[in-house]
Amino acid sequence: MRTIHVGEITKNIKEMCIEANHFLSQDMDIAMKHAVSVEKAPLGCQILEQLQENLQIAGEDMIPICQDTGMAVIFLKIGQEVHFEGGLLENAVNEGVRQGYTEGYLRKSVVKDPLLRENTKDNTPAVIHYEIVEGDKVTATVAPKGFGSENMSRIFMLKPSDGIDGVKQAILTAVKDAGPNACPPMVVGVGIGGTFEKCALLAKKALTRPVNEHSEIPYVKEMEEEMLQKINCLGIGPGGLGGTVTALAVNVETYPTHIAGLPVAVNICCHVNRHVTRII
Amino acid sequence: MDKHIYTPLTEEKARELRAGDYVYITGTIFTARDAAHKRMQEALDAGENLPIELKDAIIYYMGPSPAREGRPIGSAGPTTASRMDKYAPTLLDLGLKGMIGKGKRSQEVRDAIVRNGAVYFAAVGGAGALLSKSITASELVAYEDLGTEAIRRLEVVNFPVIVVADAEGNNLYETAIREYASESTCEL
């Protein structure tokens, strides 16, 4: 048994919120630099170069990469040997978000009620996903999600007979419809299987997987590669203004499902695709 | 083609702009996004005056992050314009000449752009730190309680945008994508 004071969680979440909004993760940084070298459209290249300049200014002057600093999505993998003290874990996480967004000059984009729409003024609450795992550590991933791309995400409840072609078509449909709205070049997170909510969560998780890593399942890896190639010949391009780099990666996660179903969720993310992970 | 324009954006100036033009805007523009548009529509419905003069104005669909000390504004990139489609035709008919955002517009908005000799510009989505460098001043105008969604008056210098929808009915998103799409290889 290992005891962790929840203050430790608060401190880390705060720092991670600020870090994720000012610095690209290494995998995204490599992918964005690579995109400049392969884009064929002159305007597309110009936009990708501006995005490089934007990243440089963000890091040097501590201005958020994007003004939409997102709703804080937080994945916590909690080792079952961990015991928390000092208060409720959920409160500690939200306190970290509150401090990060307030002290880090991040935008407060959360409304308390989806229809009454009053801003909570501190970007809380976060959306927190807990998982109990082996060991005595906590692995925290902070993935603030902007809603330009979140709004373009889709769930398709396909039939088993739709098969792999139906899944591919669903992915292409979601990306085509998203077009310029999702701030391309985008990262496409796909969840296949499970239930209605499970496939959505898989798609979200897929976005936190490094964009230079493929699925370990051979046919899924093949599908990731094929879909990236197909998406990049849709012509959408950087900023949606035409070009050959529409997506930087397609990350697919799968899960067992019911004999009657084939749920597919497509969670689209912009070129910032913030994700920071720490082991506490 | 690179062009420089100065506000106010008159119909004459707007009509000279073509989809695909790279435009640098200098002068005064206003911010308004979802909640501010809803309030403006409610004000119009109630027969009240709007907090900003729409004639020859440019509205930037943007809600900034907070400014650090000594800076006029925080990160300041465009938000998705289609969420304002419900309100935009009315504002265009009242004299609004330019909108800056990102993403597709509805047919109703594009018709209103043509009808009024207006223009829709895209700024690069996700380049909020870079775009903030073209904003020299920011002043709260109305709806302070909306926080980031309040209406602000911005002074901009060479603010970089691209004409997407022009007064002739051209739409860059459609034409540019077609140019780089290779349909045959996209098929499954």
Most B CBs within 10 Å: which of A18, A67, A149, A173, as the mutation test of the B interface? A67
Residue B177 pLDDT: 87
Residues A101 and A198 in one domain: no
Q: pLDDT at position B179, please? A: 86
Domain boundary among A109, A144, A179: A144
Is A58 among the domain residues?
A: no
Residue A121's identity, in one-letter code, is: K
Considering A110, A125, A144, which residue would you say is the last residue of a domain? A144
- Asked if the model's pLDDT at residue B112 lies above 70, the reply is yes
Q: Characterize the bridge pairing of strands A138-142 and A276-279.
A: antiparallel
Which pLDDT score, from 0 to 100, does residue B186 have?
58
Does any domain span residue A36?
Answer: no
Give the DSSP letter string of chain B. Answer: -EEEEESS--HHHHHT--TT-EEEEEEEEEE--HHHHHHHHHHHHTTPPPSS--TT-EEE---PPPPPTT-S-S-----BGGGGTTTHHHHHHTT--EEEEBS---HHHHHHHHHHT-EEEEPPTT-HHHHHTTEEEEEEEE-GGGGGGSEEEEEEEEEEEEEEE-TT--BHHHHHHHHH--HHHH--
- Report pLDDT digits (tens) over B43-60: 999 999 999 999 999 999
Residue B64 has its nearest CB partner, among A61, A67, A271, at: A67
- Residues A190 and A201 occupy one common structural domain: yes
Q: Look up residue B156 and give its two tokens.
A: 């901009």
Alpha-carbon distance A176 to nearest alpha carbon in chain B (angstroms):
11
Residue B188: is its pLDDT beyond 70? no
Compute the nearest-CA separation of A179 from chain B (Å).
8
pLDDT at B58: 98
Give the integer Cα–Cα distance in Å for B185 and A79. 46
Instruction: Judge whether A192 lies within some domain.
Output: yes
Domain count, chain A: 2
Cβ distance of A117 and B35 shorter than 8 Å: yes
Same-domain check for residues A132 and A159: no
pLDDT computed for residue B184 by the predictor? 52
Looking at residue A105, which CATH number applies to its domain?
3.30.360
Co-location of A136 and A154 in the same domain: no
Q: Please give the mean pLDDT across all residues of chain A.
A: 97
Q: Out of A65, A168, A236, whose CB is closest to B128?
A: A65
Residues contacting residue A118 through CB under 8 Å, at least 6 positions apart: A111, A112
**Same domain as A135, residue A15:** yes
Residues A128 and A250 in one domain: no
Q: By the 8 A CB rule, do A17 and A72 touch?
A: yes
Alpha carbon of A132 to those of A25, A113, A144: distances in Å?
Answer: 25, 29, 22
Whether residue A266 contacts residue A204, with contact meaning beta carbons closer than 8 Å, is answered with no
Quick one: average pLDDT of B130-153?
97
HEC string for B139-157 = EEEECHHHHHHCEEEEEEE
Domains along the sequence of chain B with CATH? 2-186 (3.20.130.10)
B9's tokens: 């954006």
A59 → chain B, closest CA residue: B129
**A116, A144, A172 — which closes off a domain?**
A144
> Range of A214's domain?
147-278
Residue of chain B minimizing CA distance to A226: B188
Q: Looking at the structure, tell me whether residues A122 and A203 fall in a common domain.
A: no
Nearest-angstrom CA–CA distance, A170 and A203: 13
Distances (CA, A) of A275 to A55, A73, A206, A248, B123: 15, 9, 11, 15, 25
Instruction: Please report which confidence band the pLDDT of residue B41 belongs to, taking 50, 70 and 90 as the band edges.
Output: very high
Joined together, the tokens standing for residue A197 give 């909510």
Residues of chain A found within 8 Å of residue B31, distances taken between Cβ atoms: none
- pLDDT tens for A201-246 read 999 999 999 999 999 999 999 999 999 999 999 999 999 999 999 9
Do A179 and A227 share a domain, yes or no? yes
Which pLDDT score is estimated for A31?
Answer: 97
- Report the distance separating Cα B63 and Cα B84, nearest Å: 13
A43 in a domain, yes or no?
no
Do B27 and B155 form a contact (C-beta atoms < 8 A)? yes
Check whether residue A257 and residue A213 sit in a common domain.
yes
Residue A78 maps to a domain:
yes
Q: Which of B79, B180, B186 sits opposite A68 (nearest CB)?
A: B79
- Residue A217 falls within a domain, yes or no? yes
Q: Do residues A160 and A212 share a domain?
A: yes
In a domain, A102, yes or no: yes
What was the pLDDT predicted at B1? 79
- pLDDT for B181: 87
Confidence of residue B187 (pLDDT cuts 50, 70, 90): low
The list of chain A residues with pLDDT below 50 reads none
Q: Which residues of chain A are within 8 Å of residue B66 when distances are taken between CB atoms?
A: 105-107
Distance from CA of A57 to the nearest CA of B (A): 6
Of all residues in chain B, the one with the smallest CA distance to A54 is B130
A194, part of any domain = yes
> How large is the average pLDDT for residues B166-177?
93
Q: Do B102 and A242 touch (CB under 8 A)?
A: no
Nearest residue, CB atoms, A236 vs list B128, B146, B177 = B177
Distance from the B54 Cα atom to the nearest Cα atom in chain A, whole angstroms = 25
Nearest CA-CA distance, residue A212 and chain B, Å:
21
Residues in B closer than 8 angstroms to A64, CB to CB, are 65, 74-75, 128-129
A73 and A117 belong to one structural domain = yes
Contacts of A234 in chain B (CB under 8 A): 177, 181, 186
> What is the interface pTM, i.e. ipTM, of the complex?
0.93
Residues A186 and A72 occupy one common structural domain:
no
* Chain center to CA of B108: 16
